[in-house]
């Protein structure tokens, strides 16, 4: 293990900002743990129905503040896309080729998820599983895809929004919420916020890529200003305190995005900027950097399949042992929370099984990867050093976590 950790550390470029990868690793862990903690499948009259402990245990609402980390994804996404597009232009790569490569990396593993769940849904219906159960499981399995659609749209708009001030999309969110809540406008108007709301942290990331978010003062302004605005909106404007959707609630901060979710995201972005220094120091340690690099290597697999892992444990447990505490029972007390915490390692093992089955679809086939590396190597030989920007996404390339960890792991991890 020590040798593996050493190889991963040695394979990493010395000028790489490892803190950016650490932020994304924290964000993906937040999403996974958040879903596992606030999503319950309750056995009711032969069906599995989704519920949330936040319905009956509002005192656990702060859990949603800790684990709803989507703004950090869009912050780092704007940073990475801005640097990547600038580097692509410097080496003569056109917009269409640049975008095609990024969207291919983003959506290649999605096709596998859709095929698997289409087959699973048909098989469950053929086996006599209730329609309600099939709908619940399928909806939860594909629920992460909304994020990818928004992320893909913002990635495609990178050349247009690269210099857009985040105040402009923030103003759109303010206007939309004022119309739909203050003036009784149509609820469908809120879906404009799905783009405008997440464009705010994405534009912050683009500004970061341009070197405009220097100094800790920016982080403190975003953190304190965002937190104060969110508290005011919850206290006096009637926005929900929970930063995730709660079944049965009249209003959700994420369905569609509200101003409170955006201001909360600004606070998260500020916290992320303030964490850069400590994370950079921590990531100098090979033992701390290695798991971050590996998680980034398979981030899409983890993101797409973590709900499936939880549901697989739930369904198998129900078939084998009947209703189990914390797995099939109503989330209505502290006992359920303690039982659910005990199930988290089991969910993690199931996710490891999903990784073993599907991780090769994230990285592509070996001949394709070899061709890309050769092509990228030729491009780098013609590219001046300042244009070689870090691209810490989930794709391939000699300086990305997928290749950094992949080269070090290649003797130990078989590939399809």
Q: Which of helix, strand or coil describes residue 394?
A: coil
For residues 25 and 295, the answer to whether their CB atoms sit within 8 Å is: yes
- The per-residue pLDDT of the chain, averaged, comes to 87
In angstroms, the Cα distances linking 191 to 20, 142, 181, 237, 253 are: 30, 19, 13, 20, 12
For the stretch 140-182, pLDDT in tens is 999 989 999 999 999 999 999 888 999 999 999 999 999 999 9
Residue 256, pLDDT above cutoff 80: yes
State the pLDDT at residue 405.
55
- Count other C-beta atoms under 10 Å from residue 303's C-beta: 20
**pTM over cut 0.85:** yes
Determine which of 79-83, 185-189, 407-411 has the lowest per-residue pLDDT on average.
407-411
> What is the rounded distance in angstroms from the CA atom of residue 366 to the CA atom of residue 100?
19
The DSSP 8-state label assigned to residue 50 in this structure reads E
- Write out the DSSP string of 18-30: HHHHHHHHHHHHH
Q: Tell me the percentage of the chain whose pLDDT exceeds 70.
A: 87
Return phi, psi of residue 250, to 5°. -70, -25
Q: Which of helix, strand or coil describes residue 243?
A: coil
Q: Which of helix, strand or coil describes residue 129?
A: coil
> What is the rounded distance in angstroms from the CA atom of residue 343 to the CA atom of residue 326?
7
State the pLDDT at residue 394.
38
Determine which of 65-69, 257-261, 281-285, 385-389 has the lowest per-residue pLDDT on average.
385-389
> What is the rounded distance in angstroms from the CA atom of residue 307 to the CA atom of residue 314?
11
> What's the count of helices (H) and strands (E) in the chain, helices before strands?
18, 2
pLDDT-derived band of residue 386, with 50, 70 and 90 as boundaries? very low
In angstroms, the Cα distances linking 323 to 73, 124, 125, 189, 314 are: 36, 19, 21, 41, 9
> What is the rounded distance in angstroms from the CA atom of residue 162 to the CA atom of residue 150?
16
Q: Which of helix, strand or coil describes residue 80?
A: helix
Closest to 104 (Cα-Cα) out of 392, 362, 399, 402: 362
Residue 384, pLDDT above cutoff 80: no
For residues 50 and 39, the answer to whether their CB atoms sit within 8 Å is: yes
Return phi, psi of residue 257, to 5°. -60, 135
Residue 59 burial (CB < 10 Å; 0-12/13-18/19+)?
exposed
> What is the rounded distance in angstroms from the CA atom of residue 279 to the CA atom of residue 281?
5
**H helices within 157-256, ranges in order?**
158-161, 167-177, 193-209, 216-236
State the pLDDT at residue 78.
96
For the stretch 123-149, pLDDT in tens is 999 999 889 899 999 999 999 899 999
State the pLDDT at residue 35.
94
The DSSP 8-state label assigned to residue 180 in this structure reads I
For the stretch 89-116, pLDDT in tens is 999 999 999 999 999 988 989 999 999 9
For residues 207 and 213, the answer to whether their CB atoms sit within 8 Å is: yes
State the pLDDT at residue 416.
29
Token pair recorded at residue 342: 């005990």
Torsion 76-205-226-172 (CA) sign: negative
Residue 246 burial (CB < 10 Å; 0-12/13-18/19+)?
buried
Which of 175 and 51 is assigned the larger pLDDT? 175
For residues 80 and 277, the answer to whether their CB atoms sit within 8 Å is: no
Which of 42 and 72 is assigned the larger pLDDT? 72
Q: Tell me the percentage of the chain whose pLDDT exceeds 90.
A: 65
């Amino acid at each position: 293990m020590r040798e593996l950790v050493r190889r991963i550390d040695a394979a990493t470029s010395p000028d790489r900002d490892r803190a950016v990868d650490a932020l994304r690793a924290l964000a993906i862990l937040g999403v996974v743990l958040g879903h596992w903690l606030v999503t319950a499948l309750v056995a009711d009259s032969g069906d599995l129905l989704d519920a949330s402990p936040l319905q009956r245990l509002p005192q656990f609402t702060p859990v949603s503040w800790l684990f709803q980390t989507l703004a950090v994804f869009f912050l780092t996404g704007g940073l990475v896309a801005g640097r990547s597009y600038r580097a692509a232009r410097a080496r003569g790569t056109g917009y269409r080729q640049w975008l095609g490569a990024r969207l291919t990396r983003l959506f290649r593993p999605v096709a596998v998820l859709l095929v698997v769940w289409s087959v699973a849904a048909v098989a469950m219906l053929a086996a006599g599983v209730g329609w309600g159960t099939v709908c619940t499981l399928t909806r939860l399995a594909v629920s992460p895809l909304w994020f990818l659609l928004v992320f893909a749209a913002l990635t495609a708009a990178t050349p247009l929004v690269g210099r857009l001030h985040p105040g402009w999309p923030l103003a759109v969110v303010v206007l939309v919420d004022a119309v739909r809540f203050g003036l009784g406008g149509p609820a469908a108007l809120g879906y404009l916020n799905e783009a405008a709301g997440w464009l705010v942290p994405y534009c912050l990331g683009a500004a970061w890529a341009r070197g405009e978010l220097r100094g800790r003062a920016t982080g403190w302004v975003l953190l304190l200003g965002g937190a104060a605005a969110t508290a005011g909106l919850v206290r006096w404007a009637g926005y929900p305190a929970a930063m995730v959707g709660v079944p049965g609630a009249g209003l959700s901060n994420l369905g569609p995005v509200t101003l409170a979710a955006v201001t909360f995201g600004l606070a998260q972005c500020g916290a992320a900027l303030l964490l850069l220094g400590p994370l950079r120091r921590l990531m100098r340690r090979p033992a701390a950097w290695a798991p971050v690099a590996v998680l980034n290597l398979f981030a899409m697999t983890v993101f797409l399949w973590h709900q499936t892992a939880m549901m697989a444990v739930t369904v198998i447990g129900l078939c084998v042992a009947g209703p189990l505490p914390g797995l099939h029972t109503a989330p209505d007390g502290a006992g359920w929370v303690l039982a659910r915490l005990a199930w988290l390692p089991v969910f993690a093992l199931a996710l490891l099984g999903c990784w073993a089955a599907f991780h090769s679809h994230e990285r592509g086939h070996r001949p394709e990867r070899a061709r890309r590396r050769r092509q990228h190597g030729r491009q780098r030989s013609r590219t001046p050093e300042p244009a070689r920007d870090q691209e810490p996404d989930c794709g391939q390339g000699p300086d990305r976590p997928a290749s950094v960890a992949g080269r070090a792991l290649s003797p130990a991890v078989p590939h399809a």
